[in-house]
Amino acid sequence: MNSRWMNYGGLILIAVVWGANFGISRLAMESFNPIVFSFLRFGLAIPFFFLILKLKEGSVGIPWRIVPKLALIGLVGITLLEITVMYSIKYTTLANASLLNVAPWPIFAALFAPLFMRETITKRLIVGGAISIVGVCFVILGGGESFSLSSDNMIGNLMALGVSIVGPLFNLSSMSLMKQYSALRVSTWTIAFGSLFMLPLTFGAWGQTDWSALQAGHYLSIGYNVLICTVVAFVVWNACMFKVGATRSNFFRYAVPAAAVVAGYVMFDEKIALLQMCGAGCMAAGLIWISIESKPRSKSSVKTVETNG
């Protein structure tokens, strides 16, 4: 199979994995403190990352000169980003959080990309991206929970929009390191530093979970978050993103809300509206239009061969 299509398939697969996790994590949040659950997700993934890195590349170390950069990326892209996502959902409606978290992300990625990478923004990308944006808005808003600019939701709205600004910077700064180091090595150390910074925030919160009452489903949700949503997802997404390009690949995040809608239908018997189905079709058309472009990256970018959320 053409490697380009394998990369696009990898992006869609991980977007579906992250979308399904909305439902899985929603179930887990009934028993776990949100920050503790986030720390478990990333903290328990660290040994797996280092083990895989050692087995695949023979070493786990990084030069001291890039430690400050990786630590900053981990602090912003893991610790800050994950906590902001969590509290944006708490302080605004689900529709607001989903729309402001997802829709502007690729736009900011396109705006910031020239600062980190040499990527070409084509007419096909603009048209396909616009179609996808319309589709994702239909998917999110079609569920009946309307977008609201009420002052009661403003803090959460600003947090959600902040995620769409910080997230692309996290992606792009990671990609700049992938010119020299593999996606696995960058992901491993980013997760490690992010978990380290997150640990102090869990102090005093561990007692809020009734550990003796946890059932098999709770442990399965942790396992899914650790192994699938973090270990597998970060490595596959970063590797595919590096090959496809940050601007183009971030539009594939629009598959996340569509997968979340399906997860809600399967896990919580939530209804899927006609507008949401139309939105999914519109979004798919936009992503396919982006994918079939003959030159997905600029000539200067193609010369470089390698390499979360």
pLDDT tens profile 222-249: 999 999 999 999 889 888 888 888 777 8
Report the distance separating Cα 185 and Cα 216, nearest Å. 32
pLDDT (average), residues 16-27: 78
pLDDT (average), residues 89-117: 73
Q: What is the pLDDT of residue 5?
A: 81
Which of the residue ranges 30-34, 125-129, 254-258 would you say has the lowest mean pLDDT?
254-258
For the stretch 263-301, pLDDT in tens is: 777 776 667 777 778 877 887 788 777 777 654 444 444
- Decide if pLDDT at 254 tops 90: no
Q: What is the pLDDT of residue 304?
A: 34
Name the residue with higher pLDDT: 51 or 83.
51
pTM: 0.75
pLDDT (average), residues 175-194: 90
pLDDT (average), residues 73-79: 93
Q: What is the pLDDT of residue 231?
A: 92
Q: What is the pLDDT of residue 94?
A: 62
Q: What is the pLDDT of residue 305?
A: 34
Q: What is the pLDDT of residue 303?
A: 36
Q: Is-contact 34 200, C-beta < 8 A?
A: no
Report the distance separating Cα 203 and Cα 20, nearest Å. 29
Report the distance separating Cα 307 and Cα 290, nearest Å. 22
Name the residue with higher pLDDT: 157 or 97.
157
Give residue 144's region: left, alpha or beta (phi > 0; psi -120 to 50).
left
Report the distance separating Cα 256 and Cα 113, nearest Å. 22
Which of the residue ranges 49-53, 102-106, 144-148 would you say has the lowest mean pLDDT?
144-148
